[in-house]
Amino acid sequence: MARKKKTDEPKQNPSNPLGENAHIPGAGEVQNQFITYTLESNYMPYAMSVIMSRAIPEIDGFKPSHRKLLYMMYKMGLLTGARSKSANIVGATMKLNPHGDQAIYETMVRMTRGNETLLHPYIDSKGNFGKAYSKNMQYAASRYTEAKLDPICGELFADIEKDAVRFVPNYDNTMQEPTLFPVRFPSVLVNSNTGIAVGMASNICSFNLKEVCETTIELIKDPDFDVAETLKGPDFSGGGYMIYEADKLREVYGTGRGSIRIRGKYAYDKSNNCIDITEIPPTTTSEAIIDKVIEHVKAGKLKEINDIRDETDKTGLKITIDLKRGADPEKVAQFLFKKTPLEDPFPCNFNVLIEGTPMTMGVSDILLEWIAFRTECVKNRTHFELVKAQDRLHLLLGLEKILLDIDKAIKIVRETEEESDVVPNLMIGFGIDEVQAEYVAEIKLRHLNREYILKRLNDIEDLKAAIEDMQDILKNKNRIRRIIISELQDVIKKYGKERRTQIIYEDDIAETQEDEDIPDYPVMVFFSREGYFKKISLQSWRMSTAGHKLKDGDEIVQELEVNNTDELLFFSNRNQVYKMRVSDFDECKASTLGDFVGTKCEMDEGETAVYMAVVKKYEGYMLFFFANGKVAKVDMASYATKTNRKKLIKAYSDKAPVTAMRYITADGEFVLKSSAGRVLLFHSGAISSKSAKDTQGVNVMTLKKAQTLVSVADYKEGQFIKPSRYRSKTLPAAGALLSAEDSAEQLKMN
């Protein structure tokens, strides 16, 4: 429970006998309270304020600081007028955003064309606004720079004067500001946005405007449309290359979370023997790349480099790397991609405020929310225009009655003694209401002629048609959809651009293997049924007298003498394969359990290794024997990759349970046994190989209903008295039962 205790009494001041703090209630007391109360009363309101009003963008793609700044620029007439000093813009924005001029100016800098942060900048700038790709290129003070709104902002403010969005009072209640912008395109995905709140963050990458608008159009037509068909991937202002990984991209599109690998762009200048880097990922800077390269050069890992320097100028980014004579530029570039931020993942976290609630959503969900938001904007705009048209029609209908007798109207005005009686007398004389009479009374004398009135009355039919059309729009959802589609198509025509970030596919990347100083010597490797792996030096294995230490019920199923530089392929029970090197494992003794492969390879929960293949070169075949009697023969080359991927999905077919696996460098014979006790001697050369890893294979052993292939063993010469009994000239074959001469002891099955 909470309790109070008084501190020592304050010392008395002769001039103030009641003490210095006597005028402050509760001063000098310590309040003990539960921390939960402090969190609820103090911390939680602060956290919610940061989330709602600072760090997380809303469906229009803007944070409050962005919105306040752009709206004040709009009110200053900077959409069509000349540029204004940035200091003036910052000062005006203080009316809406009283957080200091420096904070406002930094917000403004990021949205300018000169800073090159946004794919479609909102501010047309003049002067030095720094560069997003350099931390050392600082922007000039606000008194030296000028700015105005970029033409694309016309799509942000087009309907703002037509009650399309809600307005609220500013912090001191002296003016109104919009809660959202009635954006005509999904700006939330067109420009990147990053924010860190309390307990949550947002990191939205930018996409190509044309692709976003086309995707939105397709979603309007079909809410179940697959956005990956038209939205190829992120598009950044700095260009570069996006490495296309379908699974990761679909994860980002579906959940709003994940990462996408972006690599920089370089060119080899043969005449000067140097590499020029001109585009880099948006998550790094030129200084960070240079520092990392220098670090590797000093460590002796990049011996091919003579010099590196930043040659960035007004033409754009340029990092030049001078190479030594005879150096391979492709090899150096691949090292830079692996070991420096020249290739960097962009972490996606599509966290957006939807009606005050932070939500992490995929691309489809965000676009569907934007469509719903834009639909309301179009409805509000149409309703605003409808009311104005109805009011205008109402006035013209009153004017129409005046047309019947203009002289009577003049006579009523002339004969009315008091000005206040003019409107009531017109109402009585023509049977019109007060609003109509007020309108007629305000008409100048020079306009009370038939020509003027007829021109006004010609608008009546047009207004009636327009009102009918607007009423139909409000009732017809399809009309609203067509309006939004038309606006999106218009945005594409005005502002659509080709992609800056090019797409390259992972399998098309030719990566050179890094030369590592891995000692090459023979070792013994052991793999157990439960998925444990041991690497033991030959000397240690020969000197070992004790047997293997294993878990209860476990046994060694594979024992091979290999080299330390060989590669290991661990096939799992989830139809996946994990690639490692023998050198990735530490040497151990037979008296230890060894490494659990599932942990070492970072396999999924519940996934275990069931077979190990050791390869020097990706030659030969993988054989998969399935319980349904089929055998798949896959080229080992299918498991070789140009990239250093450690995990390959769909490593073998999942259509039937697998009974056994074998890695062979040359075709040979195998003994297949069914649950019915039949034995088939099968030669792997009888079937052709496939390049598809998940091929279902071909029928080799004929099985009756409920029968399965239960075991597979390598055939050993002399294993059977009459091996021809178990061979077959055609496949599939049922095999034969064991003869009396061939006892169970002669048949050694795994």
Per the CB < 8 A criterion, the answer to whether 591 and 546 are in contact is yes
What pLDDT does residue 750 have?
38
Instruction: Report whether the peptide linkage leading into residue 25 is cis, meaning its omega lies within 30 degrees of zero.
Output: no
Answer yes or no: is pLDDT of 472 > 80.
Answer: yes
What pLDDT does residue 15 have?
47
Percent of the chain, pLDDT > 70? 92
- Considering 24-28, 484-488, 545-549, the range whose residues carry the highest mean pLDDT is 484-488
Answer yes or no: is pLDDT of 747 > 90.
Answer: no
What pLDDT does residue 45 have?
74
Per the CB < 8 A criterion, the answer to whether 590 and 547 are in contact is yes
- Flag whether 725 is in a domain: yes
Residues 471 and 529 grouped into a single domain: no
Q: What is the CATH number of the domain that holds 457?
A: 1.10.268.10
**Looking at 39-53, 600-614, 709-723, which range is the least confident one?**
39-53
First to last CA, the chain: 69
Residues 68 and 26 grouped into a single domain: no
- 505 classed as catalytic: no
- Flag whether 275 is in a domain: yes
**Looking at 43-52, 92-101, 718-727, which range is the least confident one?**
43-52
pLDDT band at 644 (very low <50, low <70, confident <90, very high): low
pLDDT band at 498 (very low <50, low <70, confident <90, very high): very high
Residues 442 and 547 grouped into a single domain: no
Per the CB < 8 A criterion, the answer to whether 532 and 522 are in contact is no
Residues 698 and 583 grouped into a single domain: yes
- Flag whether 49 is in a domain: no
What pLDDT does residue 135 have?
87
Query: Measured between alpha carbons, how far is residue 228 from residues 211, 254, 474, 749 in Å?
Result: 10, 10, 32, 49
Average pLDDT of the chain, as a whole number: 88
What pLDDT does residue 24 have?
65
- Flag whether 622 is in a domain: yes
Sheet (strand 658-664) strand order? 658-664, 621-626, 630-635, 698-699
- Flag whether 219 is in a domain: no
Domain that holds residue 615: 522-746
Query: Measured between alpha carbons, how far is residue 471 from residues 116, 457, 476 in Å?
Result: 44, 22, 9
pLDDT 10s digits, 127-174: 999 999 998 888 999 999 999 999 999 999 999 999 999 999 998 999
Secondary structure (H, E, C), 210-278: HHHHHHHHHHHHCCCCCHHHCCCCECCCCCCEEEECHHHHHHHHHHCEEEEEEECEEEEECCCCEEEEE
What pLDDT does residue 643 have?
62
What pLDDT does residue 100 have?
84
pTM, rounded to two decimals:
0.67
Q: What is the CATH number of the domain that holds 714?
A: 2.120.10.90
Residues 575 and 721 grouped into a single domain: yes
User: What is the residue whose two structure tokens read 């003490």?
Assistant: 19
Per the residue annotation, which of 144, 171, 505, 521 is the catalytic one? 144
Residues 581 and 727 grouped into a single domain: yes
What pLDDT does residue 196 have?
81
- Flag whether 447 is in a domain: yes
Residues 637 and 721 grouped into a single domain: yes
- For 562-599, give the DSSP string: EETT-EEEEEETTS-EEEEEGGGSPP--TTS--EEHHH
- Flag whether 503 is in a domain: no
Residues 113 and 13 grouped into a single domain: no
pLDDT band at 54 (very low <50, low <70, confident <90, very high): confident
- Flag whether 686 is in a domain: yes
Residues 405 and 480 grouped into a single domain: yes
- Looking at residue 674, its amino acid is S
When divided into structural domains, the chain yields a total of 5
Q: What value does the mean pLDDT take over residues 392-407?
A: 85
Q: Identify which has the larger pLDDT, 48 or 186.
A: 186
Residues 529 and 490 grouped into a single domain: no
- For 589-657, give the DSSP string: -TTS--EEHHHHTTPPTT--EEEEEEESSS-SEEEEEETTSEEEEEEGGGG--SS--SEES--S--SS-
What pLDDT does residue 226 have?
93
Q: What is the CATH number of the domain that holds 299?
A: 3.30.1360.40
**Looking at 24-33, 387-396, 664-673, 697-706, which range is the least confident one?**
24-33
What pLDDT does residue 738 have?
87
Percent of the chain, pLDDT > 90? 65
pLDDT 10s digits, 418-468: 888 889 998 988 889 999 999 888 888 777 677 777 777 788 888 999 999
Residues 681 and 556 grouped into a single domain: yes
Residues 571 and 692 grouped into a single domain: yes
pLDDT band at 67 (very low <50, low <70, confident <90, very high): very high
What pLDDT does residue 38 have?
72
